[in-house]
Amino acid sequence: MAFINTKTKEVQVKLVFVGPGRGGKTTNLEYIFKRIRHRIESDMVSIKTQGDRTLFFDFLPFELGAIKDYNVKTQLYTVPGQIKYNATRKLVLKGVDGIVFVADSLVDRRESNINSLNNLKDNLRFYDIDIADIPIVFQYNKRDLATEGMPILDVETLEKDLNARLNAPSFTASALKGDNVIPTVKKAISKTVVAIRKKLL
């Protein structure tokens, strides 16, 4: 649940990037940080294992500024995608307000995407959250690999696998090249802030 301080007119929003391991969650955050670093005072914090994999999480806090009367502060997190780190994933999801699900478009990652989404559902359920009730945006990442001749899933398949029931906004993207990274995060923030406002009023 978002942290709201009515006295100081401050809203703190927590967005978590979720998805299978090596799907591009950290790359998304790194690109966002690169794009906004001249505007923000904070740094991106990454805690890595050997081999540059995310062990705990990446963390990027920034102030969006005043919207209406409220100063909106946003915290972006990623979770480790590897199956073995579920305890960490669960913990990072505590108090989550919105989700960006970064799916891997590679054909052989189809099952990992589905498993990761199911794992997200389970972890949210742990906090009494139904995935249908939380703002979520899908990003079908690594679309650029098609140009390199790699077999990638078509958007219809990804939508059917992951988004058929939720019917959430979705974007094809290449986090490595920065394609559609910003539209994804913008949509996620806007959906989340609007949802929080609805809950408040």
Partner 1 sequence: MDKKSNDTFAFDLENRLDDFFSDSLPPKDDSPAPKADFPLKDLKSTILAIDWEITDDALDDFLYRIDGLAEPFKDNKVNQTLLRILKSLGKYIRTHKSKAHPETIKRIMAVFAALEESVTNDELSRSDKEKMLLEEVRQFKRLKEKIVESPPPRPSVASPKPRKAVDVSQIQALFEAIDQLKSLMASELGAIRKELRQLRKE
Contact 136, 99 (CB under 8 A): yes
Q: Which residue of 48, 125, 160, 186 would you call a contact of partner 1, by CB under 8 A?
A: 186
Least gap, CB of 83 to partner 1 (angstroms): 15
- Which residues does 182 contact at the CB level (< 8 Å), separation at least 6? 32, 35
Q: Which residue of 50, 51, 68, 165 would you call a contact of partner 1, by CB under 8 A?
A: 68
Query: DSSP letters of 146-162?
Result: GGGT--B--HHHHIIII
Q: Which residue of 9, 34, 39, 48 would you call a contact of partner 1, by CB under 8 A?
A: 39
- What are the C-alpha distances in Å from 93 to residues 15, 39, 79, 110, 152? 9, 27, 8, 23, 29
- Which residues does 85 contact at the CB level (< 8 Å), separation at least 6? 55, 79
Is 193 one of the binding residues for partner 1 (CB under 8 A)?
Answer: yes
Q: Which is nearer to partner 1, 82 or 157 (CB)?
A: 82
Q: Which residues here bind partner 1, judged by CB under 8 A? A: 3, 12, 35-36, 38-39, 41-43, 45, 56-57, 59, 61, 63-68, 72-73, 75, 87-88, 91-92, 94, 182, 185-186, 189-190, 193-194, 197-198, 201
